[in-house]
């Protein structure tokens, strides 16, 4: 990319601040786990007039938390000096996948919530003892999670899948 | 994390010392029978209440106004059944009743579930009051259990349930704001709902805890019923009044010296009736739940037939 096409420095700085503002928003069902770490943030576009366009993707369509998340993101971004407006859009592509969940978020889901994250067809392991888990029900309290039991310690484990 | 080896205690007083030092009991531990029975009964009540709550919520899917609220009600229905499922699994692991037995007892009217599910939600205003007032009361009770619960598997499940119930509260607040700022007709509907649901919500906390309450002594609950109830009153009285609604409690007054709201005397008879499954809507609720259970028997039969289930 030639230098002429790079955005001006102040827009890049603003973009970095917008990114950290979006990162400060937690999933409403997992306090302490950022939506960015869950892989929901797809794009940030800053206009020359200081408007921020945030592109998010949802884990599952029809997720009831979408409106709340969009409100929280808008509030966090609009509070930044230099931002003249914020528009959050739920993108229909790319599709969210569990491999978008960061290592930090995965560790936090395991440690704080006893929730495991299933990656592809790999067997899920128990957050407490590390043994394999067995699926009991395809659906748990939300569409993005199934319910397993641990074959080792017997713990009831929810598994985020996708 | 490595789980500790199963433990045992030589006497109840040893066990209580363990609990008083912040010890967490795991399913394989040789816990005293009385403790096992008390924890089981508590979790079964919670599971039954989530199950009956899911059925109530489900009734409202076709009746909910607006797509945004409807999506939330659909998701909340799944949440409640999902919570019930997790809780029934944890309860069944205690080895007192199987999951099926718990469901059968519930639908035969032999088990308890929370008082608020013994009343009928007749209008959207009622649904808003439930999501706003009743869910807050239920959440406060669950938080008080979670804070210091000595039974490990329940404590871990509660952490997730509470995060989700906290999210329901936000949806409830959103609904309340809309109806409170709505037309005169919507406001009247909500006032009626407050009149109908104020007392059941207050009674959800139960009568004052007894001095020798075993649930407190064994660190299953961490706060006394009257403390939780009072905190709820302090929060919701000023909030509802600030929106111009009245509280249906003639004895309610503000004590200037104590700088707090004091509720009038509570009639516990309605609560006792719900405990005996003879509340205003108990028969219909249990009857409907039981007919769903019977009409879905073929699904369970099919799932239990390996050649019908491809894996």
Sequence spans of domains, chain A: 3-90, 98-160
Indicate if the pLDDT at residue A2 is higher than 90: no
Please count the residue pairs, one from chain A and one from chain B, whose beta carbons lie less than 8 angstroms apart. Answer: 82
- Answer for the pair B47, B117: CB distance below 8 angstroms, yes or no: no
Please give the tally of structural domains in chain B: 1
Residue of B nearest to A112 (CA): B159
Q: Residue A1's pLDDT is what? A: 47
* The architecture CATH gives domain A3-90: 2-Layer Sandwich (3.30)
The phi and psi torsions of B128 (rounded to 5 degrees) equal -65, -45
Using alpha carbons, select from A159, A59, A104, A129 the residue that is nearest to residue B28: A129
Residue of A nearest to B93 (CA): A154
Encode pLDDT of B289-301 as tens digits. Answer: 999 999 999 998 9
Would the CB atoms of B74 and A64 count as touching at under 8 Å? yes
Q: How far is A155 from chain B (nearest CA, A)?
A: 7
Residue B2, chain A, CB below 8 Å: the answer is: yes
Residue pointed to by tokens 């407490």: A128
Domain assignment present for residue B12? The answer is no
Q: For residue A139, name the pLDDT band (cuts at 50, 70, 90).
A: confident
Residue B100, chain A, CB below 8 Å: the answer is: no
Domain assignment present for residue B88? The answer is yes
Q: Is A149 exposed, middle or buried (0-12, 13-18, 19+ CB in 10 A)?
A: middle
Encode pLDDT of B36-51 as tens digits. Answer: 999 999 999 999 999 9
Mean pLDDT calculated for residue range B8-13? 96
Domain assignment present for residue B308? The answer is no
Mean pLDDT calculated for residue range B188-197? 97
Tell me, yes or no, if the pTM score tops 0.90: no
- Identify the three-state secondary structure at position B151: strand
Encode pLDDT of A73-130 as tens digits. Answer: 999 999 999 999 999 999 999 999 888 999 999 999 999 888 999 877 778 999 999 9
Which token pair is B273?
């009736």
Indicate if the pLDDT at residue B134 is higher than 70: yes
- Answer for the pair B129, B196: CB distance below 8 angstroms, yes or no: yes
Residues of A in contact with B156 (CB under 8 A): 114, 155
Q: For residue A3, name the pLDDT band (cuts at 50, 70, 90).
A: low
Between CA B17 and CA B218 the distance in angstroms is: 10
Q: Which residues contact B122 (CB under 8 A, 6 or more apart)?
A: none
What are the residues of chain A with a beta carbon less than 8 Å away from any beta carbon of chain B?
28-31, 62-65, 67-68, 112-115, 127-129, 136-137, 139-143, 145, 147, 149, 153-156, 158
Between CA B175 and CA B136 the distance in angstroms is: 14
Q: In the 8-state DSSP scheme, what is residue B130?
A: I
Q: Which sign does the torsion angle of CA B271, B272, B273, B274 carry?
A: positive
Would the CB atoms of B78 and A31 count as touching at under 8 Å? no
Residues of B in contact with A112 (CB under 8 A): 159
Residue of A nearest to B71 (CA): A64
DSSP structure string for chain A: --GGGSPPHHHHHHHHHHHHHHHTPEETTEEEEETTTTT-EEEEEE-TTSEEEEEE--SSTT-TTHHHHHHHHHHHHHTSTT--EEEEEE-S-SPP-GGGS-HHHHHHHHHHH-EEE--TTPPPB-TTT--BEEEEES--SSTTEEEEEETTT--EEEEE--
- Answer for the pair A21, A77: CB distance below 8 angstroms, yes or no: yes
- Answer for the pair A59, A144: CB distance below 8 angstroms, yes or no: yes
Residues of A in contact with B27 (CB under 8 A): 154
Residues of B in contact with A114 (CB under 8 A): 156-157, 159-160
Q: How far is B301 from chain A (nearest CA, A)?
A: 16
Identify which has the larger pLDDT, A156 or B310. A156
Between CA A60 and CA A57 the distance in angstroms is: 9
Q: How far is A141 from chain B (nearest CA, A)?
A: 4
Q: How far is A47 from chain B (nearest CA, A)?
A: 30
Encode pLDDT of B240-250 as tens digits. Answer: 999 999 999 99
Question: Residue B87's Cα: distance from chain center in Å?
Answer: 12
Residues of B in contact with A143 (CB under 8 A): 78
Q: For residue B1, name the pLDDT band (cuts at 50, 70, 90).
A: very low
Q: Residue B234's pLDDT is what? A: 96
Q: Residue B166's pLDDT is what? A: 84
Q: How far is A156 from chain B (nearest CA, A)?
A: 7
Domain assignment present for residue B13? The answer is no
Residue pointed to by tokens 């599910």: B117
Q: For residue A11, name the pLDDT band (cuts at 50, 70, 90).
A: confident
Range(s) of the domain holding residue B174: 21-291
Residue B79, chain A, CB below 8 Å: the answer is: yes
- Answer for the pair A29, A35: CB distance below 8 angstroms, yes or no: no
Encode pLDDT of B48-94 as tens digits. Answer: 999 999 999 999 999 998 888 888 899 889 999 999 999 999 999 99
Using only the alpha carbons of chain A, give its radius of gyration.
Answer: 18
Domain CATH for B93: 1.20.1260.10
Residue B310, chain A, CB below 8 Å: the answer is: no
């Amino acid at each position: 990319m030639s230098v002429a096409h790079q955005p001006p420095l102040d827009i890049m700085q603003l973009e970095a601040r917008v990114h950290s503002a979006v990162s400060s928003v937690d999933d409403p069902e997992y306090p302490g786990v950022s939506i960015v770490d869950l892989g929901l943030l797809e794009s940030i576009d800053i206009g020359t007039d200081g408007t921020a366009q945030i592109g998010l993707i949802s884990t599952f369509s029809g997720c009831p938390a979408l409106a709340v998340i969009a409100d929280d993101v808008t509030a966090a971004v609009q509070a930044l000096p230099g931002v003249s407006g914020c528009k959050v859009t739920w993108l229909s592509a790319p599709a969210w996948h569990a491999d978008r969940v960061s290592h930090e978020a995965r560790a936090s889901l395991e440690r704080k919530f006893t929730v495991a994250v299933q990656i592809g067809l790999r067997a899920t392991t128990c957050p407490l003892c590390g043994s394999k888990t067995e699926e009991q029900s395809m659906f748990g309290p939300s569409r993005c999670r199934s319910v397993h039991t641990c074959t080792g310690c017997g713990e009831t484990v929810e598994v985020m899948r996708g | 994390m490595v789980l500790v080896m199963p433990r045992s205690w030589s006497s109840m007083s040893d066990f209580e010392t363990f609990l008083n030092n912040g010890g967490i009991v795991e399913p394989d531990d040789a816990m005293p029978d009385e403790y096992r029975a008390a924890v089981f009964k508590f979790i079964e009540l919670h599971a039954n209440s989530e199950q009956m709550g899911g059925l109530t919520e489900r009734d409202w899917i076709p009746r909910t106004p607006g797509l945004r609220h409807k999506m939330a009600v659909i998701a909340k229905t799944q949440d409640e059944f999902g919570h019930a499922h997790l809780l029934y699994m944890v309860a069944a692991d205690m080895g007192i009743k199987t999951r099926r037995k718990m469901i059968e007892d519930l639908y035969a009217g032999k088990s308890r579930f929370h008082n608020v599910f013994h009343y009928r939600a007749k209008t959207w205003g009622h649904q808003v009051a439930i999501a706003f007032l009743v869910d807050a009361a239920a959440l406060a009770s669950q938080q008080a259990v979670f804070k210091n619960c000595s039974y490990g598997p329940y404590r871990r499940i509660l952490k997730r349930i509470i995060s989700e119930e906290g999210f329901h509260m936000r949806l409830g607040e959103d609904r309340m704001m809309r109806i409170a700022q709505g037309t005169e007709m919507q406001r009247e509907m909500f006032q009626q709902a407050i009149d109908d649901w104020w007392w059941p919500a207050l009674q959800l906390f139960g009568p004052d805890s007894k001095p020798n309450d075993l649930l407190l002594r064994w660190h299953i609950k961490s706060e006394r019923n009257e403390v939780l109830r009072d905190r709820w009153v302090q929060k919701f009285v000023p909030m509802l009044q600030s929106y111009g609604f009245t509280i249906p409690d003639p004895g309610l007054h503000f004590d200037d010296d104590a700088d707090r709201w004091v509720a009038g005397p509570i009639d516990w008879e309605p609560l006792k009736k719900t405990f005996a499954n003879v509340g205003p809507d108990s028969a219909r609720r249990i009857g409907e739940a039981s007919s769903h259970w019977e009409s879905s028997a073929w699904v369970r039969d099919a799932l239990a037939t390996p050649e019908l289930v491809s894996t």
